[in-house]
Structure 1
Amino acid sequence: MKVEIADPRTDPEPEGWPVFRSRMRLHPVWDYRLLRLEAWTARNPPVLAVVRADDGRVIGGLSVMVCRSWNDQSYAPARYARRTRLRPRWAEVYLPLLSGYPACVLDGDAGVRREAIRCFERELVRFLGTGLLGVMYRAMTLELADAMSGPARMRRQIDPTAVLAGVESEQDWRAAVAPRVRQMLDEFAADPGVRSTAGAARDDLDASELAALLNAHRARQDERAWAGGQRSRIGGLHMDTRSPVSAAYLDELVHRKDIVTRTYTTPGGRLLGFNTMIDHPRSAAVHHWAAVPRAEGGRPDLYVDAYAHCVRQMLERRSGELTAGRAMLGEKAALGFGTRDLFTVAAPRPVLGR
């Protein structure tokens, strides 16, 4: 078994990666073109680690953020290079644009998974140099966390991801949601002040407008969390390694056939909110959501209608489940969602590869 690490900004797509991605039915965030767009605009750019069997077949992949900074609006995107091998940094195996799913996919049993993780760690040390402080495996499933755990490695259960499964019809779903949710849906259906348009591979959207709305929405969420004293169990907002979502990334995303984008506008055409949904045969996902706040003329509770449409899409396509990320779990419980456990494992430099 061996591991190769590719920098999407400068390296070609690893041989065999598209075949593996198709065979494992990975979500769009694993597409190398999207990884490249993400990497060029990220403060902490991702690399792709590809795990190969002895015969050269791809049997796994890890999306790895190379981190030098937490979320700081003054920190501009910057290149890292192997010639700065002494610069302190850490790595996060994490999907910041799809945080409810692991940034690690391995095709094999428990022994294969453990060997692949140790091979990955040894190659990452070689790739990044002696400045590497350690690896944080965020938002992992139990079986992956088991492969990443070991002596002197810290493991803890973190905020779960929201999951809706076992729903047979829209009627069943409506019966399971909170009464106030049904009331919101009825009120929205009778509201002439909002127009909703949806479709896959949309070419009628201004990605710059979408990015501005999304990043402003995320900033408000962070401010509310700070004001409320909330802290995430994966480290808290003061250790947020995410980057703003770029217009280039969103433009590529909404043009994809497996992305359904729903927009909400006034009769005059002002954008009030939008949602992207990953249309996946096994695990559909409520992806990005953003809306104009009420204080700026927005329509409250638009997200409830967006979720209802995502549920309908899941049922129509017979997806096995619909996931919805790790935030606002109380609101998602009112929408009928349960949760799936996730774990974080921290491996400091001295134990990497062991």
Structure 2
Amino acid sequence: MRTLATLRGRGRDETAGVPADNGIDVEIVDPRQAPEPSGWPKFRKLAAVAPMWDYRLLRIESWLSRNPPVLAVMREGGRVLGACVVMLCSPVRGQVFGPRPATHRPGLSPCWAEVYLPWFSGHSAVVFRRQLDGAQRRELLRLFERRLAEYVGLGLLGVVYRAMPADIAEAVAGPGRPVREIDPTTVLDNRFDSVDDWLASLRPQVRTTVREALDLPDSLDVTTAAGREDLDAAELASLLNEHRARQDARAWRSGQRARIAGLHLDTRSPVPTAYLAELLRSPNVVTRTYRDPSGRLVAFHTMFDTAGGVAMPYWAALPRGRGGVPRLYVDGYVHAVRHLIDSGRPELTAGRTLLDLKAGLGFTTRTLLSVAVPRPVMGR
């Protein structure tokens, strides 16, 4: 790929969404109003295989999020090289950025941008084709920042790259760009021949706990399938958001909110029913539900199954005082490990919380970093 250095100093067109002379450009689209970018389905198969990169899901997320995301698509000669999901965040609670016409006056309201997957924070919101090296990625990200500054307008305070893997953070970092290590994501490498092989690798006390937890009540109805259309998404979304609210409340009480989430300001929205309904119907999303004899949902978890690995983005359960089953989450992890081994995927990722518990189950950690880029250094 040609270097992007020749773009500097060529005038306003280099970030205006019109390809420069050498064909390198960054297109920023608002999923609420723009059609799916050309070449996006092909790029998704190569580099953005997780379900949340599906343009239909991005459109739903953008309409229903408090801080709606846009999609930045990096191209050379029309070929997609990389992409970012970018939330546009307002310091005024309740203010939402509406769809912008193609020609708009630069915005004056203060805001900032976050390159972030708020409902899948252990994974990068920046993806590239594999063949791009670090220097090429750096140049594309600098061009993205210049394009974003023009798209948002004068009110843009800067951009924060949240929860980035080390290679992406290295491409973003530079003078005037502070980098902070945040809580890592958890990873289990697939080095096992069977679930028994995995169990044998655990400490004896943990192994005993796991086996005891697998003795589920006979009255519990457990159903697992991919692409499920039999679910009431409102029921699952209610349990999920309630579960997350309890986690947040515990974190605030313990004074660890910023450490656990890696954020001083939580820009996430509750997971909407419409988003969850579309997500659970995806063929590479496996959902496992647990119901009591009355049919009430006691717990559920989801897995994303892709060639790059299995991920567990969502787990939610009723508290014990309201009919929840103790240590039911252990069954969820065992099921995920079984799926990992049976499918032959290289790894299982399971989010950024409960690190000690997951370490006992054999998980290691992968470093994540956040990089803040104030407006004066954007694009430099």
RMSD: 1.8
2:177 equivalent to 1:158: no
- Structure 2 residue runs of 5 or longer lacking an equivalent are 1-23
Query: Which of 116, 124, 137 is matched with 1:113 structurally?
Result: 137
- Structure 1 residue runs of 5 or longer lacking an equivalent are none
User: In the alignment, which residue of structure 2 is the partner of 1:137?
Assistant: 161
TM-score (norm 2): 0.88
Task: Spell out the pairing of 1:76-115 with structure 2 (5 A cutoff).
Answer: 79=98, 81=100, 82-83=104-105, 85-107=107-129, 108-115=132-139
2:76 equivalent to 1:57: no
Task: Deviation per CA, 1:79-109: give whole Å up to 9, x if none.
Answer: 3645570010000000111111110012211
1:192 to 1:158, Cα distance in 2 relative to 1, 3 A: same
**Farther off after superposition, 260-269 or 230-239:** 230-239
Bigger Rg, which one: 2
2:267 equivalent to 1:244: no
TM-score (norm 1): 0.94
- Report SS of the residue matched to 1:239: coil
Task: Deviation per CA, 1:206-256: give whole Å up to 9, x if none.
Answer: 000001000000000000001111133487665011100011011101111
User: In the alignment, which residue of structure 2 is the partner of 1:41?
Assistant: 64
Asked if the contact 2:183–2:261 (Cα under 8 Å) also holds between the matched residues in 1, the reply is no
Query: Which of 238, 241, 246 is matched with 1:212 structurally?
Result: 238
User: In the alignment, which residue of structure 1 is the partner of 2:42?
Assistant: 19
In 2, the alpha carbon distance for the partners of 1:51 and 1:122 equals: 12
User: In the alignment, which residue of structure 2 is the partner of 1:31?
Assistant: 54
In 2, the alpha carbon distance for the partners of 1:338 and 1:305 equals: 19
Task: Deviation per CA, 1:96-135: give whole Å up to 9, x if none.
Answer: 1111111001221111101101100000001000100000
| 1:265 alignment partner AA | R
Task: Deviation per CA, 1:147-170: give whole Å up to 9, x if none.
Answer: 101111101111100000042121
Q: CA deviation at 1:300?
A: 1.9
Task: Deviation per CA, 1:1-52: give whole Å up to 9, x if none.
Answer: 2100010111111100111011225211111101111111100000000000
2:200 equivalent to 1:200: no
User: In the alignment, which residue of structure 1 is the partner of 2:30?
Assistant: 7
1:84 to 1:223, Cα distance in 2 relative to 1, 3 A: farther
Report how many aligned residue pairs link the two structures.
Answer: 350
User: In the alignment, which residue of structure 1 is the partner of 2:251?
Assistant: 225
In 1, the alpha carbon distance for the partners of 2:114 and 2:280 equals: 26
- Report SS of the residue matched to 1:279: strand
